[in-house]
Amino acid sequence: MRPRPSLLGLLAFLALVATGSSVATAGPRWPNSTIGIGGTAAVDGDPNHGGFSIFGDALWPVEGPWSFGFTAFVDDMGTNLDPVLGPPPTFTPFGTTETRHRFVYGGAWRLDAKLATKGQWTPRVNFDWGALRIQDDARGVVIGSESAPVMALGVGISRPVLQRSSLGLGIRGHALFNERVRSYLSGGIEWGWRFGKKL
């Protein structure tokens, strides 16, 4: 059995929740939002071929470079394919069939920090703590599912476009506390916008 989330992780989560409460009372009414689309890789589990990745987040500025809010995501882990063979003695191959497909979906608190920069591109780091659902299916029929806590650490870079939008790239490493999927990477293109003043 893998260890459960550490006490340090739980304390970090409680600190993020407390920070979020102060943001809700003191921050702007509307959050800055981002949507992203890309792919997954380096999946520690089976299947492990990776696939698509989609996420969206809503973050309220806290103070200085810090923002806090939540994110939701759907990440594909991959598909197992087995060959379809004809009858003996030739066993003629007729192609492949899907035996298991796996994806995860869930949500997390997110703490984001923009790093100092002098140019148009702004680097940032973020930390997520939340929960997800691991689901297996075969040709659309669910054959198993399991919930698990998840932590993620990400880095990215973005620049302003238009008046209130930004375009960037990001990558995240996810650590899951279960045996079906232990870790994976996700990354892709990100589009952000804010309500109110220009970027």
Residue 177's identity, in one-letter code, is F
Q: Do residues 192 and 36 lie in contact, with contact meaning Cβ atoms separated by under 8 Å? A: no
How far apart CA 155 and CA 178 sit, in angstroms, is 24
pLDDT exceeds 50 at position 14: no
Q: How many domains does the chain fold into? A: 1
Q: Judge whether 88 lies within some domain.
A: no
Mean pLDDT of the chain: 84
Domain range holding 134? 7-79+94-193
Q: In the chain, pLDDT over 70 holds for what percent of residues?
A: 77
Of the candidates 151, 114, 110, the residue with the CA atom closest to the CA atom of residue 19: 110
- Mean pLDDT calculated for residue range 56-72: 94
pLDDT digits (tens, 9 = 90+) for 157-168: 999 998 889 999
Q: Can you list the alpha helix ranges (DSSP code H) found in the chain? A: 7-26
How far apart CA 158 and CA 114 sit, in angstroms, is 10
The CATH number given to whatever domain includes residue 60 is 2.40.160.20
Q: Is 0.95 surpassed by the pTM of this model?
A: no
Rounded to a whole number of angstroms, the distance between the first and last alpha carbons of the chain is 47
Q: Alpha-carbon torsion 142, 143, 149, 155, what sign?
A: negative
Q: Judge whether 188 lies within some domain.
A: yes
Q: Judge whether 84 lies within some domain.
A: no
Residue 11's identity, in one-letter code, is L
Q: What is the pLDDT of residue 191?
A: 97
Higher pLDDT, 128 or 2: 128
Higher pLDDT, 136 or 17: 136
DSSP reduced 3-state for 139? coil
Q: Judge whether 89 lies within some domain.
A: no
Residue 129's identity, in one-letter code, is W
Q: Judge whether 103 lies within some domain.
A: yes
Q: Judge whether 41 lies within some domain.
A: yes
